[in-house]
Amino acid sequence: MQPAFLTRPWLDAVREEFERYLADKISGMTGVSAELHQAMQYALLGGGKRLRACLMFAVGDAVGTAPAALMDAASAMEAMHAYSLVHDDLPCMDNDVLRRGKPTCHVKFGEATALLAGDALQTTAFQWVLESSLLADSIRLQQAAILAAAAGAQGMANGQAIDLTHVGRPMTLDQLKHMHARKTGDLILAAVRMASASRSGLSSQMQSGLEDYAKTLGLAYQVIDDILDVESTSEQLGKTSGKDALSNKPTMVSLMGLSEAKQLLANLRSTALKACERCGVDERHPMAILVDLITDRKS
């Protein structure tokens, strides 16, 4: 299957279309109490980069699935991500007050409503995949299972738990990588897998290329996050910067050093671009453009 060779404007257009789709989807939910509904919309529509959704559309394109067919699955992915941020920001977790340049959900709506909004966003994620009419039953079942495995006690939630366990305790580089693979990597991998699950019969080269692409990007995402935490202001990030250093949390930068972390990032970029080649897409394809967007991001 020959993927379309598309450039950055395609990605921007798809993201804009998705943003409208997502806004309509969440605002169109009926039978939700006003306060809960507002908190869910605030958390979900707060101006995120939609990295995970864009990954799904880019990979979808590479395997021959149009963005329109992946709108619900991408909405689910972003709802799952939004839930994790709301709960991660709560006072008993990171106790953060700033997210995407705005007050965090619990600062705006109170802790109880933020807790519920996070809870409900997780459920909504599953609802959206499971109730979608855009893809066949068997594909949605697979996508929902991928999402559950990535978000749960063996994935994202486990990453958070590992993080908690190590507060104030040293961590090796391997332990740190393992924590991030669970905390952020698994959901990024799930985005790629959910998109590729929309097509059956992919070649083993394509499949392994997609897995490497996703895992490499997941790690790169964290490395750049840790670099930004050191090099950027809160204003640039839209969230509190320098927190990790202040709280003495181990990061890729603190364990490797800044220049080594930057070198690692460059290596990961090149590995991810090679994985794109194995997926049969060149450097103009959205999958490759996303590699640059992630490794060059400023916030």
**Contact window for a copy of itself (CB under 8 A) among 136-144, 190-198, 202-210, 291-299:** 136-144
Q: Does 173 bind a copy of itself (CB under 8 A)?
A: no
Q: Smallest distance from the beta carbon of 234 to a copy of itself, in angstroms? A: 23
Say how far apart CA 61 and CA 196 lie, in whole Å. 9
CB of 120 to a copy of itself, least distance (A): 4
Binds a copy of itself (CB under 8 A): choice among 131, 260, 277, 282 = 131
What is the Cα–Cα distance from 36 to 51, expressed in whole angstroms? 25
Segment interacting with a copy of itself, rule: CB under 8 A, options 9-17, 145-153, 192-200, 202-210? 145-153
Q: φ, ψ for residue 101 (rounded to 5)?
A: 75, 10
Letters for 28-57 (x = contact with a copy of itself by CB under 8 A, - = none) are -xxxxx-xxx--x-----------------
Site for a copy of itself contains 165 (CB under 8 A): yes
Shortest approach of a copy of itself to residue 225 CB, angstroms? 21
Contact between 161 and a copy of itself by CB under 8 A: the answer reads yes
Q: Does the protein bind a copy of itself through residue 97 (CB under 8 A)?
A: no
What's the closest the beta carbon of residue 35 comes to a copy of itself, in angstroms?
6
C-alpha 195/C-alpha 3 separation (Å) is: 14
* Minimum distance, C-beta of residue 125 to a copy of itself, in the bound complex (Å): 9
Closer to a copy of itself at the Cβ: 3 or 118? 118
The answer to whether the beta carbons of residues 288 and 273 sit under 8 Å apart is: yes
Q: How many of the chain's residues bind a copy of itself (CB under 8 A)?
A: 49
Q: Per CB under 8 A, does 87 bind a copy of itself?
A: yes
Site stretch for a copy of itself (CB under 8 A), options 139-147, 191-199, 236-244, 277-285: 139-147
Residue 99: strand pairing partners: 102
Residue 25 engages a copy of itself in binding (rule: CB under 8 A): no
Binding of a copy of itself at residue 151 (CB under 8 A)? yes
Dist CA 24 CA 33 (whole Å):
17
125 in Cβ contact with 150 (< 8 Å)? no
Structure tokens at 276: 């794109």
Smallest gap from Cβ 230 to a copy of itself, in A, equals 25
In which element (H, E) is residue 170 found? none
Closest by CA to 184, choosing from 77, 60, 291, 26, is 77
Question: Considering only residues 141, 230, 264, 293, which one is a binding residue for a copy of itself as defined by CB under 8 A?
Answer: 141
Q: For the CA atoms of the chain, what is the radius of gyration?
A: 18
| Structure-block tokens of residue 113 | 């409503």
Angle at 290 between CA 286 and CA 295, to 5 degrees: 155
Total residues found in the chain within this entry:
299
The minimum distance between CB 107 and a copy of itself, in angstroms, equals 13
The position carrying tokens 């404007």 is 9
**DSSP structure class, residue 10:** H
Q: How far is CA 288 from the centre of its chain?
A: 17
Euclidean distance between CA atoms 296 and 283, whole angstroms = 15
Residues that bind a copy of itself (CB under 8 A): 29-33, 35-37, 40, 83, 87, 90, 92-93, 110-113, 115-116, 118-120, 122-124, 126-127, 130-131, 137-138, 140-141, 144-145, 148-149, 151-154, 157-158, 160-162, 164-165
